Amino acid sequence: MNSYRVAVFASGEGTNFQSLVDAAAQRKLGGASIELLICDKPAAPAVARAEKAGIACYTFLPKEYTAREDYERELVALLEQKSIDLIVLAGYMRLLSSVMVDAYAGKIINIHPSLLPAFPGKDAVGQALAYGVKVSGVTVHFVDGGMDTGAIIAQRVVEVQEHDTADSLSAAIQAVERQLYPEVVGRLAQGKIHLDGRKVVSLP
């Protein structure tokens, strides 16, 4: 049986990347293997995490390219060379163009710190607190080229405490993210999640 090969895109600390690496090491990722980290910031802590885990890492500087389509063509070629089955966006702070989205339609997922469609885009936690919501949460969704508009795979609720700050609510949400993301990747690897138009079908 061939391994289900995963590439993770990250831009920052890499905590969700680390949770996936740890789950794979503990054989809790449904047979998936983390084959590659792609990072648009060579000095990001995520890169050091990949090096420590012995995972191949490809870094690039977007400003060296005329357009994002240019570097995405290089990335698609690299992903195809590595026979990647799934792209996992884990704190990757760039919108993908049609070059990437079309090449890997239905094979790119993202995690977002709100209960979409509420509070898409940047600073979802700040948006939620400013609005005064009583619950927030985490959404894992397929990527379709829009801003957090893809079909929803899974959601978990996080209660907003009366005295929550952006930092405290972010910490609570991130703790849930680190549990939910490996679960979703594992289920995808096992063929238990299927995309049918806007609807995601989840098997037992």
Domains of the chain: 4-194 (3.40.50.170)
pLDDT digits (tens, 9 = 90+) for 2-33: 689 999 999 999 999 999 999 999 999 999 99
The catalytic position among 112, 141, 163, 194 is 112
pLDDT digits (tens, 9 = 90+) for 31-75: 999 999 999 999 999 999 999 999 999 999 999 999 999 999 999
pLDDT digits (tens, 9 = 90+) for 136-190: 999 999 999 889 999 999 999 999 999 999 999 999 999 999 999 999 999 999 9
The candidate with the shortest Cα–Cα distance to 16, out of 148, 112, 108, 97, is 112
Residue 1 has pLDDT above 60, yes or no: no
| Contacting residues for 197 by C-beta, under 8 A, at least 6 apart | 151
Give yes or no for a contact between 3 and 33, defined as CB atoms under 8 angstroms apart: yes
**Residue 95, SS3?**
coil
Which amino acid is located at 121 in the chain? G
163 is catalytic: no
